[in-house]
Structure 1
Amino acid sequence: MSTVLSAPRASARTSAVEAELNYLARGNTRPVNYTFEPPAGTPWNSGSLDPRRVTIRNARPLAEAGEISLDRNGFQLVSHRSAVNDFSDDSLIRLAYRPEAEALLRDITGAEKVVIFDHTLRDSETGSRANAALREPVRRVHNDQTFVSGPRRVREHLDAEEAQQRLRHRFAIVNLWRPLSVVEQLPLALCDARSITADDLVPSDLVYRDKTGETYSFLANPQHRWFFFPRLRPDEVLLLKIYDSLEDGTARLTAHTAFEDPTSPVDAPARRSIELRALLFWPASNDTRTGGHASS
Structure 2
Amino acid sequence: MSTVLSESPSVSHVSHVSPISAIPAVHAVEAELNYLAPGTPRPVNYTFEPPEGTPWQTGVLEARRVTIQDARPLAQSGELRLDRQGFQLIAHRSALNDFSDDERIRNIYYPEAEALLRATTGAAKAVIFDHTLRDSAQGSRANAALREPVRRVHNDQTFVSGPRRVRDHLNAEEARQRLSRRFAIVNLWRPLSEVEQLPLALCDARSIVPEDLVASDLVYRDKVGETYSFLANPQHRWFYFPRLRPDEALLLKIYDSLEDGTARLTAHTAFDDPETPDHAAPRRSIELRALVFWE
SS at match of 2:143: coil
Contact 2:40-2:59 at 8 Å conserved across structures: no
Identity %: 80
Name stretches of at least 5 consecutive residues in structure 1 with no aligned partner. Answer: 1-12, 284-296
Q: Which residue of 2 aligns with 1:281?
A: 293
**Are 1:113 and 2:125 matched, yes or no?**
yes
**Are 1:251 and 2:233 matched, yes or no?**
no
- The alpha carbon displacement at 1:176 in A equals 0.1
Q: Which residue of 2 aligns with 1:40?
A: 52
- Which residue among 205, 225, 229 is the counterpart of 2:217? 205
Normalising by structure 2, report the TM-score.
0.91
- Which residue among 189, 195, 199 is the counterpart of 1:187? 199
The verdict on how the C-alpha distance between 1:29 and 1:42 changes in structure 2, with shifts beyond 3 A counting, is same
Deviations 1:116-168 (A, max 9, x none): 00000000000000000000000000000000000000000000000001000
User: Could you tell me which amino acid in structure 2 is paired with residue 97 of structure 1?
Assistant: Y
- The alpha carbon displacement at 1:266 in A equals 2.0
User: Could you tell me which amino acid in structure 2 is paired with residue 153 of structure 1?
Assistant: R
Contact 2:40-2:60 at 8 Å conserved across structures: no
**Are 1:268 and 2:277 matched, yes or no?**
no
Aligned partners of 1:210 and 1:15: how far apart in 2? 45
Aligned partners of 1:199 and 1:178: how far apart in 2? 30
User: Could you tell me which amino acid in structure 1 is paired with residue 221 of structure 2?
Assistant: R
- The alpha carbon displacement at 1:28 in A equals 4.9
- Which residue among 159, 182, 188 is the counterpart of 1:170? 182
Q: Which residue of 2 aligns with 1:294?
A: none
Aligned partners of 2:58 and 2:182: how far apart in 1? 34
Aligned partners of 2:241 and 2:207: how far apart in 1? 18
Contact 1:20-1:53 at 8 Å conserved across structures: yes
Residue-pair matches, total: 271
Q: Which residue of 2 aligns with 1:104?
A: 116
Deviations 1:148-200 (A, max 9, x none): 00000000000000000100000000000000000000000000000000000
SS at match of 2:84: helix
- The alpha carbon displacement at 1:40 in A equals 1.6
Q: Which residue of 1 aligns with 2:27?
A: 15
**Are 1:53 and 2:65 matched, yes or no?**
yes
Please provide the CA RMSD for this pair: 1.0
- The alpha carbon displacement at 1:42 in A equals 1.2
Aligned partners of 1:204 and 1:142: how far apart in 2? 10
Normalising by structure 1, report the TM-score.
0.91
SS at match of 1:71: coil
- Which residue among 69, 75, 81 is the counterpart of 2:87? 75
- The alpha carbon displacement at 1:14 in A equals 7.2
Contact 1:76-1:239 at 8 Å conserved across structures: yes
Aligned partners of 1:263 and 1:180: how far apart in 2? 20
Contact 1:27-1:47 at 8 Å conserved across structures: no
